[in-house]
Structures are given as C-alpha cells and as structure tokens.
Chains A and B, each alone.
Chain A
Amino acid sequence: MLRLVARRLAGGAVLLLVISLLSYLLLSIPDNDVGRQLLGQGADQAAVDAKNAALGLDRPALVQYADWLSHAVRGDLGTSWFTSEDVTQTIANRLPVTVSLMLGVTLVTAVLSFLLGVWAGVRRGAVDRFVQVLGVAGYALPGFLVTLVLVLVFAVKLGWFPAIGYTPFDESPGGWLSTITLPVASLSVASIAGVSQQVRGAVIDVLRQDYVRTLRARGLSMPRIVLKHVLRNASAPALVLLGLQFVGLLGGAVLVEQIFGLPGIGSMTVTYTARGDIPVIMALVMLTVLGVVLINLVTDVLIGWLNPKARL
C-alpha cells in the first residue's frame, strides 16, 4: 500500500512538472504586451519596456518558466501582474471557501447516494424508478440551470437562504451554513444522480453473486448481508465514480461560486483568466492538477482498503 502511494505521488509530481511546462509555454505564445496593458495606450515605449523588464518578460519563455518553477517549489507563486497581489496569499484566502463547498458536496453525495442506491437496488419498486429518473435528469440538465432554479425557488420566492454572499465559518457558523447550503445543494443534485445510479447498479450486480446466496443459505438475514457484504462489495465502483465527480466539481464550482458570489477559487478562475495573468493562471492550473492527483490517490487507497485483491 505504501509503495502504491509513493508511486502515485511520484507520478503526480512528474505530471505537475509536465503540465506546468506545457502551460507556461502555451501561455507565453500570445503577445499580450503586459507592460502596455498596465500602463495604458498613452505611455511611452521606454516606460513600457522598463515595466516588461521589471516583470522579467523580456527574457525567453523557458528562462521565465525556470524562474517561476524555482520559486514555485518553495511555495512562492509570485505576484499577479495586474493586481500586484501575492498569489500564494490570495489562494490561501480563497481555498477554504472552495474546499468547504466540495467537501460538503462530497459528504452529501456519498450519504444520499448510498441510501438511495442501496434502497433502489434491494427493494426496487418506486424508489428504483425515482433513482433512474433522477439519473437521467441529473445527466440531462446542465448543472448551472439546476442552480438557477434553486436560487429562484429557495432564495427569491421563499427567501429561506441568501441568494448571494458568503460568511466565513469562524465569523458565524450559522451564517456559514446558510450561505453554503444552496451552493452545496445545487452541486449535489447532479452528483447524487450519477453516483446513486452507480450504487444501484453495483448493488444489483452483487446481489446476483453466488456468495450472497451462500450467505443466505447459512442462515444470515438479508438486511445483515446487504449492510455488510453487499455494501462493501458495491462500494468500489461507486467510489471510482465519486472520485470522478469530485474532479467534475472543480469545474462546477466555477459556475456555482460565480452565481452565489462566493469568494473561492472558482470565481477567481473566471476573473483572472480573461487577461494573460500568467502567475495567477499557472497557480490555478497547478492547484487543479494537484487536486486531481490527490483525489485519484485517495480513491485508490480507499478501493485498496475495500477490495483485498487490489492491495498491492
């Protein structure tokens, strides 16, 4: 297991390196003339050149990359060209918002998907049909459309939750809960739709396995068999999908944070990527790739724990 983790981490480091190089070179292709953008059309060429030199933009792209990398590995992601903010600090301020959003969605999705999926797989009937309709609907409707409907109903019409804004947890836990509920709910709908169907399918598959019949023949009750043996064996495929959904959430968070005005990584992605602000974009790309690597690692470890055959 430790070897698996070590191998995955090494692979992830290589991936980060390759993607950072590619991104940096690609981002350097368009001639944005950052100095001119910063100083305005009226500024004289000497001042623009001096500004570009100060930012290090007069050097070849590979040199710029090497410089960026040598700072990045020490945790210094540079400063934004356009706002002069410290990128590491900005991300550190915004990350808790996005992380609490994603953890909330994952928790809600995991609990509800397993409840619905196991129920649908074991009892079939009405719950089963509901899960299947939900599965198609969750796939068919763009996530932000669901978000808009939830805002319309629960924030505008009913006024139960604020439509916009964010309260940090350490300021007011109750306020945090009320500002995070709708964003979590709107991102959870699609995740639950996907994962609960996967759980349902896996449960039905496992129920057909010979060993379930043999366990019944030993005199164990169905609820016991379902809660212990079926659940454990059906969890692996569901976890794989949950991991994939989590990656998808990185994208979904962009829209949801924008709609609810949450000061997280997602809304940062929208505002900062319009201009060629390389230090910020690089930081966001690295953060995303790091997130993907970590999620896959956690999924693999969990599956190895669940399935003894996968333990290497």
Chain B
Amino acid sequence: MREGVQRRGAFGRLVRNPLGAASLLVLALLVLAVALAPLLASQGPQAASLAHAFDGPSGGHPLGMDSAGRDVLSRILYGGRTTLGGAVVSVAIALVLGVPAGLYAGYRAGRFDAAASWTADLVMALPAMVVLLASRAILGSNVWVLMVVLGFLVAPSFFRLVRGIVADVRGEPYVDAARVSGLSDLRIVARHVLIVVRGPVIIQVALVAGLAIGLQAGLEFLGVGSGSTATWGAMLNEAFQNIQRSPVLLLWPGLALGVTTGALVLLATALRDALEDRAGTPPRRRRADALVPADVSRDDRAELLSIRGLAVAYARPDGTEAEVVHGVDLDVRPGEIVGLVGESGSGKTQTAFSVLGILPDGGHVTRGSVIVAGQEVAGLPERRHRRLRGTTVAYVPQEPMSNLDPAFTIGSQLVEPMRHVMGLSRKDAAARALDLLRMVEIPEPEQVLRRFPHQISGGMAQRVLIAGAMSCDPALLIADEPTTALDVRVQADVLDLLRRLQAERGLGVLLVTHNLGVVADLCDRVAVMNGGRIVETGPTDRVLRDPQDPYTRRLLDAVLDDAPPRAPWRPVEARSETA
C-alpha cells in the first residue's frame, strides 16, 4: 500500500503547514456554524422589528441589527447555507461534466477531443458574469438555477486541466506497458490515470468553489437570484445602500465572504505545496562573504589564467553550504589550448563559470585565487568583473540553440555587445559583425545577420556564438563542451575553427569537455577533474599515454576506440524477479 502511505504523507504535510491547517479549520468551523444556524442564532433571518433598525451589538444579537431591524448574525448564518450550497452545486456540475470529458478527450484524442476542446475554449472566452445575467432572461432569476449555469461555465477549467494531464500521461512508458499487457482502457484509466489527475483536481475544486462563491455573491449584490432570502451578497447590497449611515454593516457579510473565499484559495495553495512537496527556494547569497585568499606566491603562475586553490559552494535551502569544487589549480598561457576533462558533475563547468563570474544564483567562490590577465577576480565586485568579460575573457557555450535569444536577430545579438562593451558606432559594429561571420566561415553572412536563431542550423548557431565570443577581441576563450551538441561532421569543423583562431590570434583556450578524442586532437595540456578536484595534469601526450592517476586510467579505458569487440549475444533465460 505504497500509495496510501503517500497520500497520508501529503495530507500530513497539508495539516503541518500552518496555512493549510488554518484554512481547513476555518472552512470546517464555517460548515459547522452554518449547519447549526438554528441553534446559534437567537431568531430567524427574516424576523424584523423596525424599532431596532441599526441597533448595535447586544446580548441576544452579538453582531447587531441591520437596516430593517433584523439580526445580522442570523442572516449571515442562514445566508451561508445558500452560499455554500450554491458552491457545492456549481462544483459538482463542473466535476461531472469536466472530468470524464477531460479523461476521454485526453486518453482517446481524435475528433471528440477536437470538438470538446473547441467548445471549452469558446465557453472560457465568455465572461461568466455577462452570460449569467443574459441566461436569467431565459431561465429566470433563481439562484440555484444560476449556480447550475455557472457549473457549466466553469466545467471547461476541469476539462482542460484533466485533458492536459492525461494527454501527457498517455505517452508515458508505464501506460504503454499496461496497454501492451492487455489491460482494458477502463482499467488503465482507473489504475494509472486517475491517480495522476486526483491531486490537481482537488486543488482546482478549492479554486472553483472560491470563484463560484464570489460570483454568486456578486449576482446577489446586483439583486439577482436571491429574492427575499438572506444572502451575503444581498446583505452587502443593503449595507451599501446605508454606507453613509452605518458602514459597519458592510463588515460582517464582507468578512464572511472574504474569509470563505480566502480560506479556499489558501487551501488550494497549501494543497499544491503538500502534493508537490516543494522545498523552499535557496536563500540569496549574502553579500561580501569572507573570501579566504590562497596563500601562494606569484612566481609560478601563468600570465593569462592562473587558478590556485579555487573552491566553489552553493547555498542550500536550510542555510548551509554545499561545496562542489574543492581547491582547483589550473594554468593557461597565451596561445595554449588546455583541456579540462571529467564526467558531468565533476566541477568542470563550475570552475569555468568562476573565471567568468557567471555562477548561477546561490553559487559563489569561497576560497582561492583566480587571476585573469594579471587581475585577481575571486571576490571582485560584479561591475569590475563585467569589464573583463568579452574583452579579456570570452565564453563559448555548449548548447548553441538555447544560447541565442530567440526574440532578436543574429545581427542585433552580435552588434549589441560591441556597441556597449567596445563603444563602437552602430555602423562600425555592423561592419565588424559581418567580418566576424566571414571569419567563422559562415556562407552568405549578410543574410544570416538578418535571420532569427530558429532560422539557422545548430552548427551555424555555434559558429555565430564563437563569432560573438571573439567579437571584443578576448585574450582567453573558455569553451564549455563546444562540440557536444553538434553532429560529427560539424564537430570537426568547429574544432578546426578553434585551432585556427588560437594559431592566428595567439588566443589562450580553456576547453571544458568530457571527450578525450577532442582533447587528443586539440589540446597542448590537459587537466583531469573528478569529484571537484584536479586529479592529474600534464602535457596531453603524456597524460593520455601514461596516466598516473587511477581515475584517469579508468576514464581512458572507458573510451571504446581500442576496446575489444563484444562477444556475440547469447540469450540467457529470463528470470522474473517480482510477481
């Protein structure tokens, strides 16, 4: 019964959340008070004595009397019956219509889905208040009838919710597996699909109930639907008529209405948190964290990039820190290509981002020294660090497509940094952008400048990014897996380009990669990283031919080039592990 445990878990989280517990309590008290109205109120909602109109609170009438001398408490309690009952009617109708239709449309798709979705969009596009008022001309002014109409009007919100979730789930492997194993559609929906839908539907129920109560009160405020019965909306209207004489009469029905809808929405929020078991967001990094400088002499350090004892940590939600890079030493000299290799999660990219000063939120350098072209950048304020970016150290990212802003043309994205970082005029920057595209061997550069990122290929996008990185004449290029996302032929072209730039411009390159083939092909030296530490560093030939560290050896063994061919596959009798 894993599922039961999970559900209790979600409910437990809900009541432990103060917001969730409070709103549940408020709603429970409300239902109780409304149900016990005859016991709690000293007189009926319609009993009036004009002599007591506008009387303040007294023993038998704790909330005082209204403009017609009726007991306010009694009217609130009896009015709550209509309010809550109406909400139940609307939600029930919406559930009955929306959920099965959503399940069917999402699971079966096809023509029913198209027709139902069209209808749902249409209904959702209409303002509910106007439709309710117009429908009164056809159906008459009865609050229960109007709440049924409202049920029809909000059914699409359940339909869309359920349909969307089911359509997502339908393609999941476990549903396919259930289908292949011969379960009927009905059983699949009951067993696998309803479970996924349950949580979001419960949340939506709370939201729709709040919406229904608000709309119902709005209608009653307009004098629609309630006739002479006591309702919160009608009480608000009567109080509003007497707003100059006794504004306090607005308080109680307003409070009842606000607390009820508020409790429902807060309950929905708490439910969402409980079902998703959301962790808090990580705290913002405190400014001016004490940075422990590395105690190193400057003699043995490379003049372009020199990292000593670099440690990077991320703030956890509970306030502690998780260190992901534990003291890295690395050097890049002008005109040198250095490979930084390791598995994903080894800290390569974190090291690269530290040099650029673009660690994600919550990440920061805790120890060590990073010198870029003679300037210490560990602990450097953002403004001064920014001046180095583009002009001294530049960055070529891994995934070409996601690194270009989809909303701007290639030309505008190339020109913008040149104008603001180098201070070029629009004309000069445009001419230079053209030269840059020629340099990275893009055919028809004039046309490419006018295109948007989605109109060019991945290989071309990577060339554009390299052109962008080179646009402000950097001395050091940090390339983070620049070929991983490209197909093999384009990979070779991009590597050739990097080699040429390095040779022509005396560029220093830090090449972050997990591909030892790329390292062998391109790098002068290589540093191997594992678990946030450099385990081995040296000239590429030496490290690849004669690895000293066991991890480097394992990494090399994992390369398939020299691996012996696999033995032919021989079927082994399958053993089922579980029933």
Contact = CB atoms under 8 A, between A and B. Distances in A.
Interface string A260-299: 0000000001100111110001001100110010001000
Contacts of A258: 222
Contacts of B387: 219
Contact of A269 (B133, B261, B471): B133
A125 B284 CA distance: 9
Chain A contact residues: over half helix, strand or loop, or mixed? helix
Contacts of A224: 420
User: Which among B264, B265, B471 has the highest number of chain A CB atoms within 10 Å?
Assistant: B265
Interface string B122-135: 10011111100110
Interface string B414-449: 001100110000000000000000000000000000
B137 A273 contact: yes
A248 B266 CA distance: 22
B403 A211 contact: yes
B397 interface: yes
A222 B452 CA distance: 23
B472 A219 contact: yes
A308 B391 contact: no
A209 B402 contact: yes
A219 B134 contact: no
Contact of A214 (B214, B243, B403): B403
Q: Interface residues of A toward B: which range?
A: 35 or more
A30 B222 CA distance: 23
Contact of A142 (B261, B417, B468): B261
Nearest to B259: A140
Nearest to B356: A217
Interface string B383-415: 100111111001101010011111110000000
B164 interface: no
B417 A218 contact: yes
A229 interface: yes
B409 to A, nearest CB: 8
Contact of A139 (B265, B386, B390, B465): B265
Interface residues of B, number: 73
Contacts of A307: 406-407
B532 to A, nearest CB: 21
A251 B421 contact: no
A145 to B, nearest CB: 6
A258 B532 CA distance: 67
A156 B247 contact: yes
Given A30-B138, A125-B284, A220-B416, A144 B406 contact: no
B216 to A, nearest CB: 9
A292 B125 CA distance: 7
Chain B contact residues: over half helix, strand or loop, or mixed? helix
B258 interface: yes
Contact of A140 (B210, B469, B471): B210
Nearest to B243: A156
Contacts of A137: 262
B500 interface: no
A103 B317 CA distance: 43
A222 B381 CA distance: 13
B138 A255 contact: no
B214 A220 contact: no
Contacts of A292: 125-127
A26 B152 CA distance: 16
B405 A233 contact: yes
A250 interface: yes
Given A229-B405, A233-B405, A281-B137, A218 B130 contact: no
Given A148-B254, A221-B386, A273 B126 contact: no
B262 A309 contact: no
A129 to B, nearest CB: 11
A222 B357 CA distance: 13
Interface in B110-132: 122, 125-130
A176 to B, nearest CB: 23
User: Which among A141, A232, A259, A309 has the highest number of chain B CB atoms within 10 Å?
Assistant: A141
Contacts of A217: 356, 358, 389-390, 394-395, 397, 469
Interface of A: 15, 23, 26-27, 29-30, 124-125, 136-137, 139-145, 148-149, 151-152, 156-157, 163, 208-211, 213-222, 224, 228-229, 232-233, 247-252, 254-255, 258-259, 269-270, 273-277, 281, 284-285, 288-289, 292, 296, 306-309
22 contacts: A27-B138, A125-B284, A137-B262, A139-B210, A140-B264, A141-B261, A144-B217, A148-B250, A152-B250, A156-B244, A163-B243, A213-B403, A218-B421, A218-B472, A219-B421, A229-B408, A249-B127, A255-B129, A269-B130, A276-B138, A288-B127, A309-B452
